Structure 1
Amino acid sequence: MAEQSEDQVGVYLDFDNIVISRYNQLHGTNQFAKDKARHHTNGSAKADPAVSARIQLAMIDVGAVLDYASSFGAIVISRAYADWSAAVNARYQRQLTDRAVDLIQLFPTVASLKNGADIRLAIDVMEDSFRSSDLSHIVIVAGDSDYIPLAQRCKRLGRYVIGIGVSGATSTVLAAACHEFADYDSLPGVVSAAQLTAPVIESTDAPAAASAVTDVVPPAAGEPEGAEASAPANPAVSPAARKAATALLVRAMDLLANNDQEWQHASALKLQMRRMDPSFQERTLGFRQFSDFLKSRHTVVELDKKNPTGPVLLRLRA
């Protein structure tokens, strides 16, 4: 059960904004519109494999966004605004439903395909702020300057405002209007645009295009090489579950590193891991205590417990 004093976070994603911005960041200005990526379907006979590859390369890691938001407190509201009938957005169904994100359907009402997400999102943020006095943090995932008045009003209402946007597609004034603003590329677990340097695929050979994307897109879990820890006491635990737990540990440590402390408290780490994945329990992995789980991950974390009665401290290995 969450403590009453725990900060509560509301996350609001202008999903069309972030998807289009990421696509254009990787593939060029206005390339999303030029490629007609919104309604591009892989299964279509007329589907361009090059466009399919570019869409796959520009996929947003929703988990990285929500994990970063959870570092500020418990996420009590998470909503994503978009036209979910568009093929490019429908690709995210599994990511979003797995993280219990509320999908707000916004059909385009004008020829420009603008769906009015900024108005609906702003109304919901204001309504939630007035209804929920315990809502302490507002996370706005967008880069549009239309959200500047919203950020300013939330600050006036005493909420701590965090913005997340794509580099090159974010208003500098919006960033200034927030208490904090994070570049999507800088979030733990996200492969930056600078690292995704694969050339644009022009081949009409679909298998070759798919292979090229696989070569440059890392696994979503972000499992570091060589991080496979010693097997837990419970032999029924699958290798996939062990790898997922290690990846969760590493990402949580990356988020805690924002406090500029070299050594982190194990209790804070466990809290962050539970925020990111409420189903995490060391006992299901075969460990009696959280410290035993940490010791089993000695390839990725280093423990420090000089005093037997003192707190367990840890840091990521270089």
Structure 2
Amino acid sequence: MTDDSTRLAVLIDADNTSAKLIKEMFDELAGYGTITVKRAYGDWTNPHLTGWREVLLGNAISPQQQFAYTVGKNATDSALIIDAMDLLYSGNVDGFAIVSSDSDFTPLATRLRESGKRVIGVGQRKTPKAFVEACERFLFLEVLAGSGVDDPDESELVKGEPTRPIESVLTRALQKVDTDDDDWTPLSALGNHLRRTDPSFDSRNYGFSKLGELVRAQAYVETKTVTGSNGNGQLWVRRKPRRPAAEPAEETSAKKAAPKKTAKRAATKSAKKAINAPRQAGRP
């Protein structure tokens, strides 16, 4: 659900970001609030950024020029960080979207969150985990692309850490969230836990547009819909109860044979008593 009262500043490291998925990025960020600041940082005299021209104009992004004064030093990063701190102290925004795959922005994301601001990161899968974890949410550009990257020039986008097995992710989360007496938990609570523990978690990483669709497709969990007092249905989920393990054939045979042995012993004792009874009766 979109929170229109949340004002977002989108700060783009153009030197480290492809211009091809910016429209999809803004569409996604619109779900987090109203975008009031759009700035892109880079050395616009560099031919490498030529493809940004139409994107800047078409999305009303303000370009921030930063010359590379010294080889090996990134003036773009410094300018973006300075502007972010200025916006923080101005009090005119409630959250930041930092668009970059550069780990140098990890301290910035940490500082902004310490000040109570929302921080949404946007970058490629190759983004270092430190930066991903420093953000409240992290969106992968490959996911926003939908079908993936078809341009050979963007082949580097597919690099990065592999997606964790979904069974491991869901099982661990279901063990941590609050449940009722029968281990059922609301899907909303599960989703909140997944996002808190992994800012980059997204059901689209696993080929599903929504978390509910992802959960329903897993054979090891079961779901049910609970209708609330307002008439709306809420999806609940739990891991399927494990069936008791089958007993080994040897143990089963032994248990079956046990009653027979007991009955045989009882019959033997009865026979002995019948034989000894006359002898005991004839004693003085």
TM-score, structure 2 normalization: 0.51
Within the alignment, does 1:192 sit opposite 2:161 as a pair? no
Partner of 1:123: 82
Distance 2:17 2:147 in 1: 15
Conservation of the 8 A alpha-carbon contact between 2:41 and 2:63: yes
Is the Cα contact below 8 Å between 2:4 and 2:34 reproduced in 1? Answer: no
Deviation of 1:143 (Å): 1.7
Contact 2:95 2:118 in 1 (8 A): yes
Match 1:177 to one of 134, 137, 146: 134
1:68 is the counterpart of 2:42: no
Higher share in helix: 2
Q: Look up the equivalent residue of 2:142 and give its one-letter code.
A: D
What residue number does 1:13 align with?
12
Gaps of 5+ in 2: 156-203, 214-230, 232-284
CA distance in 2: counterparts of 1:176 and 1:258, whole angstroms: 23
* CA-to-aligned-CA distance 1:126-148 (integer Å, 9 cap, x gap): 11111124x12210011212111
Higher relative contact order (CA 8 A, sep 6+): 1
Q: Which residue in the other structure is 2:120 paired with?
A: 162
* 1:106 aligns to 2:62 (yes or no): no
Aligned equivalent of 1:83, options 43, 46, 70: 43
Equivalents in 1 of 2:138, 2:48: separation in Å? 26
Q: Is the 8 A contact 1:107 1:115 kept in 2?
A: no
Larger radius of gyration: 2
Shift of 1:196: 4.8
The residue identity in structure 1 corresponding to 2:11 is Y
CA distance in 1, matches of 2:6, 2:96: 11
Counterparts of 1:5 and 1:72, CA distance in 2: 8
| Residue 162 of structure 1, CA deviation | 0.6
How far apart are residue 60 of structure 1 and its match? 2.2
Deviations 1:164-200 (A, max 9, x none): 11112x111110111111111011x45523x5579x9
TM-score of the superposed pair, with normalisation by structure 1: 0.46
CA contact (8 A) 1:14 1:80 kept: yes
Instruction: Please give the alpha-carbon distance, in whole angstroms, between the structure 2 residues aligned to 1:77 and 1:155.
Output: 18
Aligned residue pairs: how many? Answer: 162
Contact 1:64 1:190 in 2 (8 A): no
Q: Deviations over 1:58-108 (max 9, x none)?
A: x52221122222110110001000111122312221111111101000111
* 1:121, distance to aligned residue in structure 2 (A): 0.6
Residue 170 of structure 2 corresponds to which residue in structure 1?
Answer: none
Q: 1:146 to 1:197 in 2, by over 3 A?
A: closer
Measured on the aligned residues, the alpha-carbon RMSD in Å equals 3.0
For 1:153, the equivalent position in structure 2 comes to 111
Q: What is the rounded CA distance, in whole Å, between the counterparts of 1:139 and 1:80 in structure 2?
A: 12
Paired residues of 2:43 and 2:76 also in contact (CA < 8 A): no
AA aligned opposite 1:149: P
> Structure 1 residues 173 and 95 mapped into 2: Cα distance closer, same or farther (>3 Å)?
same
Structure 1 residue runs without a partner (length 5+)? 20-58, 201-253, 263-309, 311-318
The 1:190–1:101 alpha-carbon spacing in structure 2 relative to 1, beyond 3 Å, is: farther
Fraction of identical pairs, as percent: 28
1:290-309 correspondence to structure 2 within 5 Å? none
- List structure 1 segments (4+ residues) > 6 angstroms apart after TM superposition: none
Task: Check conservation: 1:148, 1:173, Cα contact below 8 A.
Answer: yes
Please report how far the alpha carbon of residue 158 of structure 1 lies from its aligned counterpart in structure 2 after TM superposition. Answer: 0.7
